[in-house]
A and B are shown apart, each in its own frame.
Chain A
Amino acid sequence: MSNDSYVTDDGRTIGPTVMEMKNITLRFGGVKAITDISFDIREGEIRAIIGPNGAGKSSMLNVISGFYVPQEGEVWYKGKKRPPMKPYQVAQQGIARTFQNIALFEGMTVLDNVMTGRLRQMKANMLEQAIWKGKAEKEEVENREVVEKIIDFLEIQAIRKTPVGRLPYGLKKRVELARALAAEPSILLLDEPMAGMNVEEKEDMSRFILDMNDEFGTTIALIEHDMGVVMDLSDRVVVMDYGKKIGDGTPDEVRNNQDVIDAYLGVAHD
């Protein structure tokens, strides 16, 4: 855990640690998905988690987002130890995520989907919403403003009123990102944001991730398979293999780490 800030080469300020995972172990019955992993995420940084298939990356993300409760280990968030929580409680703390397999409301428009990201900020009860007067109306206007800024930011104006089901994959990913961003999270978890995209879409997505980090100062933790993208985007990288942490550091450090090279290129296992 460190409390000092530093400035990166490209002029961004990386703050003190905002989230720390201490000795996390996660088991499903007899299967150990994650074994004794510790790492931290600092404010304002882009932190990547990489590893071969089945390394436990998504499980790790699910631990952070509260979907799984680890059997051992502690999650420290903003200097406090986090008790076991439901996912919605974690979301209320300002942690938003996207999913590897898109989880949008297919029949709703892009705008409505993104608006659901604002639900946490809306206080009006069901009756008020139904009557559509006073608080509910005021809230909707305020939140719509935020959502429109995000739509503008992610350049999805042209599909604002299109039902999500009709969109191609790359755009759905972007809509999901918009919804996560609408929650104004302090930490944004991206589970394979670029899986299945072509080069152009990947470049767009990378730009959005960098711009998001730059513009809103959002801390981003992402899982990604595309090594080129990870090495370009992230400030620090955690490498996992078979549920264990095998490397942690800047992209350059990780790239030269023998364990990492072995994990990716393969060695004979005894």
Chain B
Amino acid sequence: MSLVTIRKDWENFKKKLTKRMKTAPLEVEESLTRFWLAPAGLREEENLAQSSQATGGLTSIPALLQRNAAQFADRDAYREKEFGIWQTWTWAMTEKEIEALALGLINLGVKEGDFVAIIGRNRPYFYWSMVAAQSVGAVPVPVYQDSAAEEMEYILGHCGAKYAIVEDQEQVDKIIEIQDKLHTFEHMVYIDPRGLRKYDHRQLHEFSHIQAQGRAAHDELIGELKSRREKLDYDSTCVMLYTSGTTGKPKGVVLSNRNVIESSKNSAVFDALTGDEEILSYLPMAWVGDFIFSVGQAYWCGFCVNCPESADTMMTDLREIGPTYYFAPPRIFETSLTNVMIRMEDSGDLKYALFHHFMDFAKTAGEKYGMPKRSLAKPDMKRRIKNGWRYAMGLGFAIETLVENGIRMAFTKLRHGSKAREHFKAKDPILLNLYRGNLRDYFKYRMGNVLVYGPLKDTLGFGRVRVGYTAGEAIGPEIFEFYRSLGINLKQLYGQTEATVFITAQPDGEVRADTVGVPSPDVEIKIDDNGEIHYRSPGTFVEYYNNPESTASTKDAEGWVATGDAGFFEEKSGHLRIIDRAKDVGKMADGSMFAPKYVENKLKFYPDILEAVLFGNGKDRCVAFINIDLTAVGNWAERNNIAYASYQELAGHPKVLDSIQEHVEAVNRSVADDPMLAGCQVHRFLVLHKELDADDGEMTRTRKVRRVIVADKFKDLVDGLYDGSTSVSTTTEVTYEDGRKGSISATLELRDAKVVPVASKMAAE
């Protein structure tokens, strides 16, 4: 292709996209000039011209807030379900609330450069607190609200936080407990006054009082606030986030406004996000993803952030809001799928048969007929008519299917009684035979949409999802396929706190379960000789706070950051594939590759298995710990009349062990198919008597296994697996949620699993 044709293509593409995004609030043209699809040569040329005024003076989150308040004053900015009703704040109201809070913070004595810890579940108040802290020149530091007091002590002590904005009595108590050890700590603000009336209020303030004081001191302090706000530029710190730390102490990642705004902007263009988006914010606020989705992108695009009523009501709230843009770690999708399957087991026979009939079909046809067109969040009239038409296409056949299968079911029931389910298979309606090939599939999918996919998506709260992402861990191919076949545009992305989330993402239409997509806009990626992935992007973090050594070892002088993950680019598609954490990849005694994550993920794809940990680095064979999933296994036990009193008892039940053994052996067979990794087959395994838990330090708060700690803590069990004993008695210390410690003891059965011999392949190596 000559440069001229490239340029022409590019111009056409821009025109198309501009037309599509006419109603979008983005400065479309400006964003497009930096759009990732621009051929490299063009992009650089335009970059130079644009970089100085790329965002038109919008170089901080508070500046974006001002723009939103002026431009989208009456549009909803925040919603929170409280007292059973969705309470709403428009952008104009939000601006007033944040201003009052910012003035209150100045009044309280917050100086520029101070750190303000923010501890609580997702609520508008905390998002306002972050922006208010930024407005007064302070740095917000969100902290995981379920951290134990010592973890908080480390973080608050490390950044020298002077202020904390917390949710309720629980958090206040935690901070009071550690306050003596925090030398710089001054004031605490709480949101929920319940149970706090009798506390000493010299250093403790209620959120609404701070705002009231701010409003009262408006005339006096507004000048100060404005001047501080105007001082913020692209290089000032936007937020500091602590990494969860799979190894060692958490590190404070400093992200500048440039990191956050550029990343938000690029990713918003990548997925054509507009101000009409609805998202549900339920992931921990201390996690970079939530910051980018609920603050970065929300402020850049001006869309609405919805906060659930409580952690338990998340699923109901999800359904009520029906987000158009959704993000969840694989675990949430797994749990949802497990619930669907369990509830289908309990449903009526006809429903059960139809569900399986249509889900089987969707596996092949979902990608083709189900995916939403990349339309806007708020469909226009044309799109609505089209949607109506698509629905109508399926309606007639759906009724016919119901009637035909209902009648057949009635006869099956007469004949087989309560065993009807085993003898009944749903069939397509007779009239569908009028059509052949693609047309038949099209009608069948539309019909399934009326009967199964649509209602199911609606129940799950995914009815309106245009763009869904999963990241953080590998997702099971079956799980991924299930959601995609329903017509949910679920994609994978690969990111890090240090990259302000985005390193790679899957573009629409190029989605696969085993890759993580192509480099995100403006991200450069290289893979070094050891297979470790390095990247450089506008989102690359500034530094680790107060930790120049770690900064230097992670980020080199040219701005390349080592991810610590090993991976490679697939030659055909240009997609990135992740193998494992680079430092987890090791060698077995015979020199073959040891990649624990690869095997663990295969195990975890079984719904009964919640977590798996593989050992074997430097050894001659691999062994594994397995955690069962209480929901799935518990339901199975109920169905099979297996009584159990506790997790521990269920985990040690011989029948459970049998079924886990089957899974392990199946995984061994599939691992053996890959000659490179055949050595990683699980020779022996055990089912742990307790769930691995963040409170015990066995996992990070983002639920990633801390391999070294687990190996160390359960050393006796690992040894038992290697020395061939068939049962081991062990006592384990556990930490309860309130910090108290206890211990549980158990005798575990250690089992051998069949492995596929790979001697010949080994010899060849």
Which A residues fall within an 8 A CB radius of B?
10-12, 144-145, 148-149, 151-153, 155, 157-158, 160-161, 211, 214-215
User: 17 interchain pairs (CB within 8 A)?
Assistant: A11-B198, A148-B85, A149-B83, A151-B83, A152-B82, A153-B194, A155-B310, A157-B81, A157-B84, A157-B312, A158-B309, A158-B312, A160-B84, A161-B316, A214-B195, A215-B194, A215-B195
B22 within 8 A of A: no
A158 near B83 with CB under 8 A, answer: no
B416 to chain A, nearest CB (A): 30
A148/B84 contact (C-beta < 8 A), A157-B310, A157-B312, A158-B312 known: yes
For B197, the closest partner residue in chain A by CB is A214
Residues 172-228 of B contacting A (Cβ, < 8 Å): 194-195, 197-198
B51 within 8 A of A: no
Separation of A145 and B84 alpha carbons in the complex (Å)? 9
Q: Mark B69-90, 1 if CB is under 8 A from A, else 0.
A: 0000000000001111100000
B313 within 8 A of A: yes
A145 near B83 with CB under 8 A, answer: yes
A148 near B198 with CB under 8 A, answer: no
Separation of A158 and B84 alpha carbons in the complex (Å)? 10
- Known contacts A158-B310, A158-B313, then 15 further A-B pairs from the complex at CB < 8 Å, ordered by chain A residue: A10-B198, A11-B198, A12-B198, A145-B83, A148-B83, A148-B84, A151-B84, A152-B82, A157-B84, A157-B310, A157-B312, A160-B84, A211-B194, A215-B194, A215-B195
B194 near A157 with CB under 8 A, answer: no
Separation of A144 and B84 alpha carbons in the complex (Å)? 9
With a CB–CB cut-off of 8 A, which chain A residues contact B81?
157
Separation of A220 and B316 alpha carbons in the complex (Å)? 34
A163 to chain B, nearest CB (A): 15
Separation of A155 and B313 alpha carbons in the complex (Å)? 11
For A160, the closest partner residue in chain B by CB is B84
With a CB–CB cut-off of 8 A, which chain B residues contact A11?
198
With a CB–CB cut-off of 8 A, which chain A residues contact B82?
152
A211 near B316 with CB under 8 A, answer: no
A157 in complex: contacting residue of B195, B197, B198, B313, CB < 8 Å? B313
* Interface majority SS (helix, strand, loop, mixed), chain A: helix
A211 in complex: contacting residue of B83, B84, B195, B310, CB < 8 Å? B195
A122 to chain B, nearest CB (A): 18
A224 to chain B, nearest CB (A): 21
With a CB–CB cut-off of 8 A, which chain A residues contact B83?
145, 148-149, 151-152
Separation of A151 and B310 alpha carbons in the complex (Å)? 12
Interface centre among B81, B82, B83 (most CB of A within 10 A): B83
Separation of A160 and B312 alpha carbons in the complex (Å)? 11
Residues 289-312 of B contacting A (Cβ, < 8 Å): 309-310, 312
With a CB–CB cut-off of 8 A, which chain A residues contact B84?
144, 148, 151, 157, 160
Nearest first, the 4 A-B pairs at minimum CB distance are A158-B312, A148-B83, A11-B198, A148-B84
Separation of A160 and B315 alpha carbons in the complex (Å)? 13
B335 to chain A, nearest CB (A): 15
Separation of A215 and B196 alpha carbons in the complex (Å)? 10
For A148, the closest partner residue in chain B by CB is B83
With a CB–CB cut-off of 8 A, which chain B residues contact A211?
194-195
Separation of A148 and B84 alpha carbons in the complex (Å)? 6
With a CB–CB cut-off of 8 A, which chain B residues contact A145?
83
With a CB–CB cut-off of 8 A, which chain B residues contact A160?
84
A158 in complex: contacting residue of B85, B198, B316, CB < 8 Å? B316
B164 to chain A, nearest CB (A): 23
B314 to chain A, nearest CB (A): 9
Separation of A132 and B309 alpha carbons in the complex (Å)? 29
With a CB–CB cut-off of 8 A, which chain B residues contact A149?
83
With a CB–CB cut-off of 8 A, which chain A residues contact B310?
155, 157-158
Interface centre among A10, A151, A157, A211 (most CB of B within 10 A): A157
With a CB–CB cut-off of 8 A, which chain A residues contact B85?
148
Separation of A145 and B197 alpha carbons in the complex (Å)? 23
For B198, the closest partner residue in chain A by CB is A11
B734 to chain A, nearest CB (A): 14
A83 to chain B, nearest CB (A): 38
B163 to chain A, nearest CB (A): 26
Separation of A160 and B83 alpha carbons in the complex (Å)? 11
A29 to chain B, nearest CB (A): 44
For B199, the closest partner residue in chain A by CB is A11
With a CB–CB cut-off of 8 A, which chain B residues contact A10?
198
For B314, the closest partner residue in chain A by CB is A158
With a CB–CB cut-off of 8 A, which chain B residues contact A153?
194
Separation of A161 and B315 alpha carbons in the complex (Å)? 13
With a CB–CB cut-off of 8 A, which chain B residues contact A157?
81, 84, 309-310, 312-313
With a CB–CB cut-off of 8 A, which chain B residues contact A144?
84
B510 to chain A, nearest CB (A): 38
With a CB–CB cut-off of 8 A, which chain A residues contact B312?
157-158
For A158, the closest partner residue in chain B by CB is B312
Separation of A215 and B198 alpha carbons in the complex (Å)? 11
A33 to chain B, nearest CB (A): 38
With a CB–CB cut-off of 8 A, which chain B residues contact A161?
316
For A215, the closest partner residue in chain B by CB is B194
For A111, the closest partner residue in chain B by CB is B84
Q: Mark B301-336, 1 if CB is under 8 A from A, else 0.
A: 000000001101100100000000000000000000
Separation of A10 and B199 alpha carbons in the complex (Å)? 10
A93 to chain B, nearest CB (A): 28
For B312, the closest partner residue in chain A by CB is A158
Separation of A158 and B85 alpha carbons in the complex (Å)? 13
A207 to chain B, nearest CB (A): 8
Separation of A53 and B363 alpha carbons in the complex (Å)? 62
For B738, the closest partner residue in chain A by CB is A203
Separation of A61 and B414 alpha carbons in the complex (Å)? 56
With a CB–CB cut-off of 8 A, which chain A residues contact B197?
214
A203 to chain B, nearest CB (A): 9
B30 to chain A, nearest CB (A): 43
A15 to chain B, nearest CB (A): 17
Separation of A247 and B417 alpha carbons in the complex (Å)? 65
For B81, the closest partner residue in chain A by CB is A157
With a CB–CB cut-off of 8 A, which chain B residues contact A152?
82-83
A13 to chain B, nearest CB (A): 11
Residues 415-441 of B contacting A (Cβ, < 8 Å): none
A27 to chain B, nearest CB (A): 44
A132 to chain B, nearest CB (A): 19
Separation of A92 and B758 alpha carbons in the complex (Å)? 81
With a CB–CB cut-off of 8 A, which chain A residues contact B198?
10-12, 214
Separation of A211 and B170 alpha carbons in the complex (Å)? 13
A143 to chain B, nearest CB (A): 12
A234 to chain B, nearest CB (A): 18
For B736, the closest partner residue in chain A by CB is A200
Interface centre among B84, B197, B309 (most CB of A within 10 A): B84
Interface centre among A155, A158, A214, A215 (most CB of B within 10 A): A158
With a CB–CB cut-off of 8 A, which chain B residues contact A158?
309-310, 312-313, 316
Separation of A97 and B541 alpha carbons in the complex (Å)? 59
Separation of A211 and B81 alpha carbons in the complex (Å)? 23
Residues 35-87 of B contacting A (Cβ, < 8 Å): 81-85
With a CB–CB cut-off of 8 A, which chain B residues contact A215?
194-195
Q: Mark B389-427, 1 if CB is under 8 A from A, else 0.
A: 000000000000000000000000000000000000000
Separation of A12 and B85 alpha carbons in the complex (Å)? 33
For A11, the closest partner residue in chain B by CB is B198
Separation of A268 and B197 alpha carbons in the complex (Å)? 49
Separation of A153 and B197 alpha carbons in the complex (Å)? 16
Separation of A243 and B515 alpha carbons in the complex (Å)? 75
Separation of A148 and B313 alpha carbons in the complex (Å)? 15
Separation of A160 and B310 alpha carbons in the complex (Å)? 12
A125 to chain B, nearest CB (A): 26
Separation of A157 and B80 alpha carbons in the complex (Å)? 13
Separation of A148 and B81 alpha carbons in the complex (Å)? 11
B129 to chain A, nearest CB (A): 21
For A152, the closest partner residue in chain B by CB is B83
Separation of A211 and B195 alpha carbons in the complex (Å)? 6
Separation of A157 and B316 alpha carbons in the complex (Å)? 10
Separation of A145 and B87 alpha carbons in the complex (Å)? 13
